Structure 1
Amino acid sequence: MKNLIITLLPLLVSLHTVETDTWKPTSATISFTIKHALGATAEGSFKGFEGNLIFNPDNLADASLKGTVVAKTIYTGISLRDNTLRGDEYFAVDKYPKISLVSTKIEKSAVGNQYTGYFNLTIKDITKNIKLPFTFTKNGTQATFKGSFMINRIDYGIGKKSALLNDTATISIVIQTQHI
């Protein structure tokens, strides 16, 4: 019996050891849309993404997805609006220079390469847990993380209630990565 256990031990250990993959971001697109006055849509983006992405579809318990963007990089294509959004009433970028997203749990969805992530989203000094459905598409040593979610901007102290600006914004994330 002792010999059998010694023989099976490496096999049992290998069955429970699943590698966790680390992915280095090579490019990222973080964009948003929000309804504006008279049904128009305002669009914009953030730059300066930095991330630490540990993800293996076969080992979701050890997955860890963390990312930040630089708040002052907000860009809508209209300088006056960008400067207003950087100000204290909206993103207060001098006081809160980064926006962060940190996973708390990742689950496999019922369909193919689809997952549901639960993340702590911090904007300004306010952190709330959000649900982010995303896809993970691997192609050799490269992979793409892609997802979108909605937030209520008022919950994060981004402006005030307004008849001209919807409370809900949609954020889209596309991150191209290289396996390291």
Structure 2
Amino acid sequence: MKKLLIPLIAASFIFVTPLNAEEYVIDTKGAHAFIQFRIKHLGYSWLLGRFNEFSGSFSYDEKNPQAAKISVDIKPASVDSNHGERDKHLRDEDFLYVDKYPKASFVSTSFTEKGDGKAELKGDLTLRGVTKPVVIAVEHIGHGKDPWGGYRRGFFGTTEIALADFGIPFDLGPASKTVQLELSVEGIRQ
């Protein structure tokens, strides 16, 4: 019996060994994370905005960065372009249609280091009930202890999506077919 128990106990340690990936919660409560967008207005200027309400988490292991994962939930009704009437229009069926689609999300599928703090993050973006793959160019900003006794890690990412790919029917003209997204993510290690 002893001969059987020793290998079983040893095997159990193999399966319960903690992973090296660090788990982080995106710091939206402290306003240290942002999802911003810009789109050309009729081709004459840039219209800027952001989503004020979102949450998420990510994992990252410096020894195994390709195993990094991120998941973010966004409340499209929190869209803020610094103009109340325009924001009402962005929330209606011409754009985000928040009454029918109150949630948007991003879930990563892969993370590839490119060197010099740069990486490529692939994942599925769900917006207006449509899920499409997107590629985000990522820059690792930094990591370390914070003044409150915690540990933080931050990334910045950019991508561009076509409005039509997500079923957004409103035509803003030929110069406004795509929207650029900028994502600033600071996570608190758990």
Q: Helix, strand or coil: the match of 1:103? A: strand
Q: How far did 1:96 drift? A: 0.8
Distance 2:175 2:43 in 1: 10
Q: How far did 1:67 drift? A: 0.3
1:114 to 118, 123, 140: 118
Q: How far did 1:164 drift? A: 7.2
Q: In 1, are the aligned partners of 2:66 and 2:113 still within 8 Å (CA)?
A: no
1:149 aligned partner: 159
1:23 aligned partner: 24
Change (3 A) 1:38 1:151: closer
The one-letter amino acid paired with 1:113 is G
1:167 to 162, 170, 177: 177
1:129 to 125, 129, 133: 133
Q: How far did 1:78 drift? A: 1.1
Q: In 2, are the aligned partners of 1:142 and 1:179 still within 8 Å (CA)?
A: yes
The one-letter amino acid paired with 1:68 is D
For normalisation by structure 1, the TM-score amounts to 0.85
Pairs aligned (count): 168
1:72 aligned partner: 77
Distance 2:77 2:175 in 1: 20
1:41 aligned partner: 46
Q: In 2, are the aligned partners of 1:44 and 1:74 still within 8 Å (CA)?
A: yes
Superposed CA offset, 1:104-124 (max 9, x none): 011111x22211110100001
CA RMSD in angstroms comes to: 2.3
Distance 1:144 1:128 in 2: 25
Distance 1:108 1:62 in 2: 10
Q: In 2, are the aligned partners of 1:34 and 1:168 still within 8 Å (CA)?
A: yes
2:64 to 56, 59, 67: 59
Q: Helix, strand or coil: the match of 1:131? A: strand
Q: In 2, are the aligned partners of 1:104 and 1:120 still within 8 Å (CA)?
A: yes
Q: Helix, strand or coil: the match of 1:149? A: strand
Identity percentage of aligned residues: 22
Distance 2:171 2:185 in 1: 32
Superposed CA offset, 1:16-45 (max 9, x none): 985011012113111000001251111100
Gaps of 5+ in 2: 1-9, 146-150
